[in-house]
A and B are shown apart, each in its own frame.
Chain A
């Protein structure tokens, strides 16, 4: 009998579409992709959607619910199509087995204790208000970090090289985008994670998804009771084992003609591989199958794997060196900027809300037009590891821009109307007079005030016709334009002290300008 190939083909096609779309949003070199597309592309991603739903309760964040329902009917379609990390692992696995011609996979016992233990700990940590574990383990966020930290620099380098070539031909439509995101902690974590899943998927297919991934474990609970399941037909199956060899979840026990539905990711490889139509995908009623659970069989190997992941991850963490370059002849400033808090992005309501809900996918880091959003190391403390913060040495928040709050898939940065955004105070500028050029050199400067969108930093008379900055903290929104523009090094003369909780700044008061009559057409 002919094998059925179309379900597998459809799955591959769909998964590549999701991989491509989810990938380009992190790689887009010139922000060509409109905001609504970014929103649509991240909508089905499970963890972000779940978090957003918990915060907003809106149907706009109900992507995860759709996939709970789909899983209850069809099994873990999500894991084999929507999840970009899943597809990435499939590609790695395929390269190893097809191109490098390694041994095929075979049935393996589930790691249920480890798997559900991780899920329980993650759920408890979310309830307890920490996003750190989800941040480490969530497939979408890890995929995002891999792309934003490792692939994006390569894409930008290619983009900029191409832009350079086009410019030589006098063509300027392709802009260059500088790479400002060199953050050792998140770069190291992303690299370590990529190495980990590469190794796990090369050796054991979907081991990560069925042992470590909290989304996989959760959806596995639903797929155990799904209406449609893969099963081996007792009559047609001749136990040849072809299905088991192509099963990347290693969940087909040919000997006993059993399938572990909780681990099956509905990839349909088995259906295609079966020479005798013995693998069927069919309605299995509402019965709850008896899945073998043997606590004693928990492999220590996998625990070690997990430990390794954390160890490699932390080994890469190192403090970020602030740029302290000097230009010739200047007197270096002496008073350090003693910032006790960094600022969280506008729309994040403050550190608590942000740290609890951000999974550090770095979509906002990739999309921020001024590069002010950068992955943190310990700026927020350990609980905010790799979550983006406002790095005013890298850029400053564009007054008119709301991109991060428009696209944040988890609701860590909530949507903010433009008029409100212009008044949300992330922090307050602090002026250090002794570092200021006007004070040290007695020459005009005013770079801070120049960039200030609300004129919270204004120039007031100082001496001999000079003016010096003065901060009005009532109308300061903490956008960091002043800190970014301040020319003194190594310490700046103005910096933003972050607000733990964002507040609304006052609106700048504007008096009417009344021109005096000059009585002449031209004053010369």
Chain B
């Protein structure tokens, strides 16, 4: 099938153009940027996943702003399904690998990657391409397939979700980078950064049974990721979160990066073609002031490659 791209008309105001992107180190890029660029959110389009991330993180001041020397980092992509990257059921492996690399270059002592998968975990890790990408980049891929890895935490500010069993890596790491893939979702309407956090807990059944959208928002009251990177390179527009075939997927080549999890989700929802206020968990999180879905109040950097 022929995939049509969005038609490009003109250039938006905030687009950074003409930045010299040499083949040198990716950290070098960060220092070249003016410090006054305190963006709340960066949106990039029309590049390869790794290149888009390079640009995004550079415009936010480089990974060193988020990862200090010697810190432990956990990167949580979506690796939920035993499908190949073309099916876009999981986060793009190139993006995950690049994030791991940035973290290590910023001086991280260890970079861990895991997910509590839906399909058989080892097949998901392998066939998503993420296992190889992480290992090649120097990160550590950690299983999340048994209950032993999860520890009970209290969520005092949660309305329906008061307790969860959370993967020990989330508890033990200094930096938490959340890397969901943008896709349609039959349960949660759309799967984004907040929804991706269901992959760090053990007992997801409870969430489904006790008002899914409220639980998704409740969990964010317990811990917000340091940074959210939403992969919109290939986007599953229907039949999510698993997808039936490649016909569900379109090439969008988008990337959203923000420390504000609600803003990141709101922006990605708009890219997807929906309205943030129509997605219950985004609306609830906005009401609970876990972030903002009103993008007009944010300083957004829009980069077109």
B and A form one assembly:
yes
Residues of A within 8 A of B (CB): 30-31, 160, 164, 170, 172, 175-178, 327, 329-330, 369-370, 398-401, 437, 441, 443-447, 449-455, 458-459, 465, 467, 485, 487-488, 508, 510-515, 517-524
Shortest beta-carbon distance from B255 to chain A in Å: 11
The answer to whether A523 touches B271 (Cβ under 8 A) is yes
The answer to whether A446 touches B122 (Cβ under 8 A) is no
With a cutoff of 8 Å between Cβ atoms, the chain B residues found around residue A449 in the complex are 186-187
A-B contact pairs, 27 of them (CB 8 A): A175-B122, A176-B145, A327-B206, A400-B82, A443-B213, A443-B214, A444-B189, A447-B208, A449-B186, A450-B241, A451-B118, A452-B242, A465-B280, A487-B206, A487-B208, A513-B1, A513-B250, A515-B5, A515-B6, A518-B6, A520-B12, A521-B9, A521-B45, A522-B45, A522-B300, A523-B270, A524-B270
Q: Is the interface of A mostly helix, strand, loop or mixed?
A: loop
Shortest beta-carbon distance from A322 to chain B in Å: 15
B43 at the interface (CB under 8 A from A): yes
The answer to whether A451 touches B242 (Cβ under 8 A) is yes
The answer to whether A369 touches B208 (Cβ under 8 A) is no
The answer to whether A445 touches B267 (Cβ under 8 A) is no
Interface string of B272-304 (1 = CB under 8 A from A): 010000001000000000000001000010101
With a cutoff of 8 Å between Cβ atoms, the chain B residues found around residue A512 in the complex are 1, 247
The answer to whether B280 touches A444 (Cβ under 8 A) is yes
With a cutoff of 8 Å between Cβ atoms, the chain B residues found around residue A450 in the complex are 118, 185-187, 241-242
**The 4 residue pairs across chains A and B that have the minimum distance between CB atoms:** A446-B187, A510-B247, A449-B186, A487-B209
Which residue in A160, A399, A444, A517 is a CB contact (below 8 Å) of B7?
A517
B23 at the interface (CB under 8 A from A): no
Q: Assuming A327-B209, A446-B186, A453-B244, is B9 touching A520 (CB within 8 A)?
A: yes
Interface string of B106-131 (1 = CB under 8 A from A): 00001000000011111100010000
Supplied contacts A441-B209, A522-B302, 15 more A-B pairs, CB within 8 Å: A172-B141, A172-B142, A172-B143, A175-B145, A178-B146, A327-B205, A369-B122, A370-B119, A370-B120, A398-B82, A398-B123, A459-B186, A467-B186, A522-B12, A522-B271
With a cutoff of 8 Å between Cβ atoms, the chain B residues found around residue A522 in the complex are 12, 43, 45, 271, 300, 302
Complex Cα–Cα for A439 and B146 (A): 31
Interface string of B230-270 (1 = CB under 8 A from A): 00000001110110110110100000000000000011001
With a cutoff of 8 Å between Cβ atoms, the chain A residues found around residue B37 in the complex are none
B154 at the interface (CB under 8 A from A): no
Which residue in A401, A451, A510 is a CB contact (below 8 Å) of B244?
A510
The answer to whether A329 touches B210 (Cβ under 8 A) is yes
Complex Cα–Cα for A465 and B278 (A): 9
Which residue in B145, B148, B208, B247 is a CB contact (below 8 Å) of A445?
B208
The answer to whether B148 touches A176 (Cβ under 8 A) is yes
Of the listed residues B11, B120, B188, B270, the one surrounded by the most CB atoms of chain A closer than 10 A to its CB is B120
For A368, the closest partner residue in chain B by CB is B120
Shortest beta-carbon distance from B82 to chain A in Å: 5
The answer to whether A398 touches B186 (Cβ under 8 A) is no
With a cutoff of 8 Å between Cβ atoms, the chain B residues found around residue A175 in the complex are 121-122, 143, 145
Complex Cα–Cα for A401 and B274 (A): 35
B212 at the interface (CB under 8 A from A): yes
Shortest beta-carbon distance from A457 to chain B in Å: 9
The answer to whether B244 touches A455 (Cβ under 8 A) is yes
Complex Cα–Cα for A513 and B56 (A): 29
With a cutoff of 8 Å between Cβ atoms, the chain A residues found around residue B82 in the complex are 398-401
For B237, the closest partner residue in chain A by CB is A513
The answer to whether A510 touches B245 (Cβ under 8 A) is yes
Complex Cα–Cα for A518 and B245 (A): 25
Complex Cα–Cα for A515 and B208 (A): 31
Shortest beta-carbon distance from A422 to chain B in Å: 10
Complex Cα–Cα for A523 and B267 (A): 8
For A441, the closest partner residue in chain B by CB is B211
Which residue in A398, A444, A523 is a CB contact (below 8 Å) of B187?
A444
Complex Cα–Cα for A400 and B242 (A): 13
With a cutoff of 8 Å between Cβ atoms, the chain A residues found around residue B7 in the complex are 517-519
Shortest beta-carbon distance from B197 to chain A in Å: 16
Which residue in B12, B145, B147, B189 is a CB contact (below 8 Å) of A521?
B12
The answer to whether A445 touches B9 (Cβ under 8 A) is no
B132 at the interface (CB under 8 A from A): no
For A174, the closest partner residue in chain B by CB is B143
Complex Cα–Cα for A13 and B238 (A): 59
For B212, the closest partner residue in chain A by CB is A444
The answer to whether B110 touches A170 (Cβ under 8 A) is yes
